[in-house]
Amino acid sequence: MKPDLAQAMPTAWPGGKGSPPRLRGVEAVIFDMDGLLLNTEILARRALQLAGADLGLELTDAFFALLIGVPADGNRRLLFEHYGSAAPADALFAAAARHQRTLIDSGEMQLKPGVLELLDQLDQAGLPHGVATSSGRDKALHHLQRAGIAERFQAIVTRDEVARGKPHPDLFLRAAQALGMAPGSCIALEDSYNGVRAAHAAAMPVIMVPDLLPPNDEMMGKCVTIVSDLHAVSAMLAMHSGVAKFAADTSPHGKSAASYIAAQP
């Protein structure tokens, strides 16, 4: 069942109370994958904690929050920083991958609310769209294919194709290039802090759709707006008959983020 868009949408926007952000010139949309298209962040957290239990490590939700939006090499560094250089990184992450694959293959992976509606809307509008994910290519393709949406994207760029992962801009720059677009003519959809930072560093307007990480002051400053789910992004598009002009003013955006926070239970 779709959520009530009136509740999902912020009640105030950067352009003024009751009006949407100024949108102009965007010709493509670039999606994150984990936590934005798919509920795989929460599955990854459960899998990592199961793997930790296998190895006698207690991995907290707070520690996992540090890993969100960080590529595998960064996750290893964070593990060593918090659990010492003797932490069994190879065994831990291999076990976590097995647990996550089991969870996914048992049917627990789901599309996030509004994914199919937004993809249909972009197709109807003729706006190209791609994925820029910190996951490796094999994992990304497995997840997207299993979810039935891999063929919906004109470009899928993974950590394997770039020198640096998020929060560096490389993934978003490569995705824009793959779509044949300038970065500033794309809009990014992200759920993580590092993903928002990466899109912002690429000079790409970004909308945050929070998953496990709540928006903070930094995100308010870097995002065009912050919304509850992808239904809200669809509603933003629907408010603009010239969908090809969907783009964002990059001025400070605290009002919309504050409205998101205020709307949360």
Indicate which residues carry an active-site annotation.
32, 34
DSSP 8-state code for residue 212? S
Residue 32 CB neighbours (<10 A): 32
Instruction: Write out the two tokens for 145.
Output: 């294919």
Check: CB of residue 244 under 8 Å from CB of residue 127: yes
Instruction: Write out the two tokens for 162.
Output: 């770039």
246 Rama sector, left if φ>0, alpha if ψ -120 to 50, beta otherwise: beta
Check: CB of residue 170 under 8 Å from CB of residue 196: no
Instruction: Write out the two tokens for 75.
Output: 């996750």
Check: CB of residue 224 under 8 Å from CB of residue 236: no
